[in-house]
């Protein structure tokens, strides 16, 4: 964030209105100097006799994106809470709300978090159309801390306020106006004029002088409010079991309703200060900045290149992946030519796209109109004649090297020389795919995760030859279709699948050591993964497990564990969720239930592998079970970092969260590993490798860092950087 031009200005007009303006591009974050500046300007406005009222606004078309999140980072590093200025009582209550001159907020663009909280301390709020209003603090592991938990319920009612805070979703100014959060919506041109007049009207008592904190008219009765809060508590227990900020937010709301707004404000500050220091906040704040860092790719985004427009994309293959990719593109207004090899497959592909859109409409995520519009820019084709007009091709056919090579060979002939040639392969080396072409500079991996129109991650895989322009173009398309794009180097499994291949294998080792598979799944779910490794395998289907297992055992034979279990399950007629029979039973309309008839099959596998020391099942603590599954994943992440497959460790954090649903409140895989400590991970893996074999053998990178006490996330040394694949 640019710090040099950060300031608060004040201009007093002939009408007696002081316009106080926040300037801290790009989002007018409320950094400590801005908050100090606000206090200073307010003091001046109170002193000056020529000031009757105040308009508070933001420069550059945005009111404010809230408190400066980098200050949380500083608090996390130092543990020093004094870095958090007293804003809630000092500035919002005493300086703005209880002032002897009224304030009106003039809001453009967005008012989020502390930004919205400042406006709620004002005596009225005027906004332009389509302003984003919200309190997303829970996504940072804290609660609103400038009085938001008190004033929002008083302005929009308790149920809506709780919904807005617990989901962290913003509303638009139009809805805010209906709810009573916004007093009037006016055009951009009229904003300051109306706000000034409104402020004077309050000062001269033509309009009511309302302090939000004193209001009670929207709170409803105590018993009603308690019911709403209790229901929210129950829901949060289910949806956010490991996140303390949800219950804390409800505690603050409840305090204010029971004991009054000011008590609520004091409770809120207390809870806020406790939460800022929590591991959850540390993880989520790290994740916030990590997500923003991925868009900065050295020698790609910092060399003055401009993205070329990508308006039309050809997708080859209408299977699950191809049709998902096509859906993602047309949903964001990118025209798609979907190619298949015969009318039957083509029809099936188009039907899948239609089905994807229908299910989004059914879930209220898309309107009928938008679905129709999206379909209107999809064309099905059986040959390459349309390809000369496309800006990019994404190949999404089965994982066959000769097939992919022949397709890329053909593409080179039929596409324009500037067309980007992308493959959605999840395993095959891109250099091999492009081997028979002379277009290596425009060949790139576009690795979507299934279902491609739902999963947020797009791994952009570059080779040594891929040009910076092509990488930038794919990053731009990815962003346009609302994907989180992480640029990675070329290796088996790329960053995510490579890092996580030991996840299932570790689980299989434990199963073969006699640990209950359902217990493993339960513990891994409580760790924060959406489901355990066995349920995940059921979901993906055993065919995938076999294919992926083969790929990794070829690439990394020294450390793959070959479990006979999947083959035995297949032999028993099980194929996971696909046929309703796996480790779990799948019946329509009910949750998967552990299928105890799988136990003899696991026993057979145990017999074949003969891993159990003395033939007895291993007795492990819950923590050891989680660690024996997650530490090998960290170990592989270390190799990925060592080989420079990602630009920075935090990219792997983002990729693990968006690609594998690793819990965001743990900050991502590497961040979490550093909270556990390299030393403990290393010594545990070393011990297990001696007991159970090479699968657990710690990598050199992990060993080095553990010995030297360097965090795994620390940037690579010069010698390591030299090996980078990026
Ligand atoms: C006490 C209070 O209750 C506590 C708080 O207020 S906590 C803060 C609550 N506010 C938020 O959570 C909003 C966080 N910001 C956002 O969601 C989005 O940045 C946004 C919707 C404001 C803008 O999105 P977008 O236009 O896509 O820009 P985006 O790339 O995210 O951000 C632009 C830059 O501003 C920075 N930024 C955004 N909000 C920031 C904030 N509140 N503090 C510090 N930096 C911030 C980003 O890190 C990024 O910096 P970079 O260019 O150096 O990478």
Q: What is the pLDDT of residues 542-596, one digit of tens each?
A: 887 888 888 888 899 999 998 999 999 999 999 999 899 999 999 988 899 999 9
Q: What is the pLDDT of residue 721?
A: 60
Residue 113 CA to ligand 1 centre (angstroms): 10
Question: What confidence score (pLDDT) does residue 681 get?
Answer: 98
> Cβ distance 292 to 479 under 8 Å?
no
Look up the ipTM and state it.
Answer: 0.99
Ligand 1 proximity of 446 Cβ (cutoff 6 Å): no
| Residue 3, pLDDT score | 55
With a cut of 80, say whether residue 330 has pLDDT above it. yes
Average pLDDT (466-482) is 97
Has this prediction a pTM greater than 0.90?
Answer: yes
Cβ count within 10 A of residue 558: 8
| Mean pLDDT on 201-207 | 98
Nearest ligand 1 atom to the CA of 142 is 4
**In the annotation, is 189 catalytic?**
no
Q: Which atom of ligand 1 is nearest to the CA of 67?
A: 6
How high is the mean pLDDT of the chain? 95
496-512 vs 517-527: helix crossing angle, rounded to 10: 140
**What's the CA-to-centroid distance between 655 and ligand 1, angstroms?**
20
**pLDDT score of 399:** 86
Identify whether 26 is preceded by a cis peptide bond (ω within 30 of 0).
yes
What are the backbone dihedrals phi and psi of residue 499, each rounded to the nearest 5 degrees, phi first?
Answer: -65, -35
Instruction: Read off the pLDDT band of 1 (50, 70, 90).
Output: very low
DSSP state for residue 394 in the 8-state scheme: E
Rounded mean pLDDT of 135-143? Answer: 98
Ligand 1: atom nearest CA of 132 is 21
pLDDT (tens digit, 9 = 90+) per residue, 246-299?
999 999 999 999 999 999 999 999 999 999 999 999 999 999 999 999 999 999
Q: Which helix (H) or strand (E) holds 488?
A: strand 484-489
Q: Average pLDDT of 145-152?
A: 98
Residue-wise pLDDT tens digits, 638-680: 999 999 999 999 999 999 999 999 999 999 999 999 999 999 9
Q: In what order do the strands lie in the sheet with 132-134?
A: 110-112, 132-134, 171-172
Which candidate in 108, 137, 395, 412 is catalytic? 137
Tell me the pLDDT band of 4, cut-offs 50, 70 and 90: low
103 SS3 class: strand
Predicted local distance difference test score (pLDDT) of residue 720:
58
Render pLDDT for 41-100 as a digit per residue (tens, 0 to 9): 999 999 999 999 999 999 999 999 999 999 999 999 999 999 998 999 999 999 999 999
Which atom of ligand 1 sits closest to the CA of residue 70?
Answer: 44
| Bridge pairing between strands 124-127 and 184-185 | parallel
CA 67 / ligand 1 centre spacing (Å): 9
Check pLDDT > 50 for residue 617: yes
482 lines ligand 1 (CB under 6 A): no
Residue 205's pLDDT is what? 97
Q: Rounded to 10 degrees, what is the CA torsion of 265, 269, 270, 274?
A: 150
Kindly state the average pLDDT of the residues 376-385. Answer: 97
User: Among the options 59, 117, 395, 459, which is catalytic?
Assistant: 117
Answer whether residue 718 shows pLDDT above 80.
no
pLDDT higher than threshold 60 for residue 715: yes
Within its chain, how far is the Cα of 653 from the centroid? 10
Best residue among 3, 23, 26, 27 to mutate for probing ligand 1, ranked by most atoms within 8 Å of CB: 27
What pLDDT score was predicted for residue 2? 43
Q: What is the pLDDT of residue 569?
A: 96
pLDDT at 321: 95
* Residue 137 is among the residues annotated as catalytic for this protein: yes
Share of the chain above pLDDT 90, in %: 91
């Amino acid at each position: 964030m640019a710090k040099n031009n950060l300031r608060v200005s004040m201009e007093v007009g002939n009408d007696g209105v002081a316009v106080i303006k926040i300037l801290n591009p790009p989002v007018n974050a409320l950094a400590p100097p801005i908050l100090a500046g606000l206090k200073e300007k307010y003091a001046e406005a109170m002193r000056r006799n020529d000031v009757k009222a105040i308009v508070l606004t933001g420069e550059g078309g945005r009111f404010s994106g809230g408190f400066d999140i980098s200050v949380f980072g500083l608090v996390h590093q130092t543990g020093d809470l004094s870095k958090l200025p007293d804003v809630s009582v000092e500035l919002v209550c005493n300086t703005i709300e209880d002032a002897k001159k009224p304030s009106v907020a003039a809001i453009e663009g967005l008012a989020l978090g502390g930004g919205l909280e400042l406006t709620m301390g004002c005596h009225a709020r005027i906004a332009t159309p389509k302003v984003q209003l919200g309190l997303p603090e829970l996504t940072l592991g804290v609660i609103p801390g400038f009085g938001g938990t008190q004033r929002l319920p008083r302005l929009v009612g308790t149920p809506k306020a709780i919904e807005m805070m617990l989901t962290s979703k913003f509303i638009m100014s139009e809805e805010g106006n209906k709810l009573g959060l916004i007093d009037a919506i006016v055009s951009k041109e009229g904003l300051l004029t109306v706000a000034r007049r409104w402020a004077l009207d309050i000062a001269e008592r033509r309009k009511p002088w309302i302090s939000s904190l004193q209001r009670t008219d929207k709170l409803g009765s105590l018993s009603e409010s308690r019911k709403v809060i209790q229901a929210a508590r129950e829901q949060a227990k289910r949806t956010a079991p490991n996140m303390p900020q949800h219950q804390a937010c409800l505690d603050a709301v409840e305090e204010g309703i029971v004991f009054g707004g000011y008590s609520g404000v004091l409770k809120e500050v207390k809870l806020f200060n406790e939460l800022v220091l929590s591991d959850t906040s540390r993880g989520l704040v790290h994740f916030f900045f990590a997500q923003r860092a991925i868009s900065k790719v050295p020698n790609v985004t910092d060399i003055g290149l401009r993205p070329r427009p990508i308006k039309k994309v050809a997708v080859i293959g209408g299977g699950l992946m191809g049709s998902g990719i096509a859906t993602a593109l047309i949903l964001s207004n990118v025209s798609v030519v979907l190619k298949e090899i015969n009318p039957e497959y083509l029809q099936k592909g188009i039907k899948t796209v239609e089905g994807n859109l229908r299910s989004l409409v059914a879930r209220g995520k898309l309107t009928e109109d938008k679905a129709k519009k999206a379909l209107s820019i999809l064309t099905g084709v059986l040959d390459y004649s349309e390809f000369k007009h496309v800006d990019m091709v994404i190949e999404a056919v089965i994982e066959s090297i000769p097939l992919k090579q022949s397709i890329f060979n053909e593409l080179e002939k039929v596409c324009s020389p500037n067309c980007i040639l992308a493959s959605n392969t999840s395993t095959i080396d891109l250099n091999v795919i492009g081997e028979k072409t002379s277009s290596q500079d425009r060949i790139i991996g576009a690795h979507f995760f299934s279902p491609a129109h739902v999963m947020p991650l797009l791994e952009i895989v570059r080779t040594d030859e891929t040009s910076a322009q092509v990488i930038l173009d794919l990053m731009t398309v990815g962003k346009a279709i609302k994907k989180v794009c992480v640029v990675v180097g070329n290796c088996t499994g790329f960053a995510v699948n490579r890092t996580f291949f030991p996840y299932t294998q570790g689980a299989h080792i434990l199963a073969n050591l006699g640990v209950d598979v359902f217990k493993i799944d339960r513990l891994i779910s409580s760790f924060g993964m959406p489901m355990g490794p066995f349920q995940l395998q059921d979901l993906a289907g055993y065919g995938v497990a076999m294919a992926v297992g083969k790929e990794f055992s070829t690439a990394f034979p020294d450390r793959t564990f070959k479990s006979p279990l999947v083959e035995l399950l297949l032999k028993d007629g099980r194929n996971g969720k696909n046929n309703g029979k796996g480790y779990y039973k799948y019946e329509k309309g009910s949750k998967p239930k552990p299928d105890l008839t799988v136990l003899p099959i696991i026993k057979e596998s145990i017999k074949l592998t003969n891993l159990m020391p003395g033939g007895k099942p291993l007795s492990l603590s819950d923590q050891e079970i989680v660690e024996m599954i997650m530490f090998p994943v960290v170990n592989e992440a270390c190799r990925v970092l060592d080989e420079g497959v990602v630009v920075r460790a935090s990219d792997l954090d983002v990729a693990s969260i968006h690609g594998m649903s690793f819990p965001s409140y743990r900050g991502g895989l590497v961040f979490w590993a550093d909270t556990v400590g390299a030393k403990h991970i290393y010594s545990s893996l070393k011990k297990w490798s001696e007991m159970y074999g090479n699968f657990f053998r710690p990598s050199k990178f992990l060993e080095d860092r553990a010995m030297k006490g360097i965090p795994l996330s620390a940037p690579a040394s010069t010698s390591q950087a030299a090996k980078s694949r990026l």
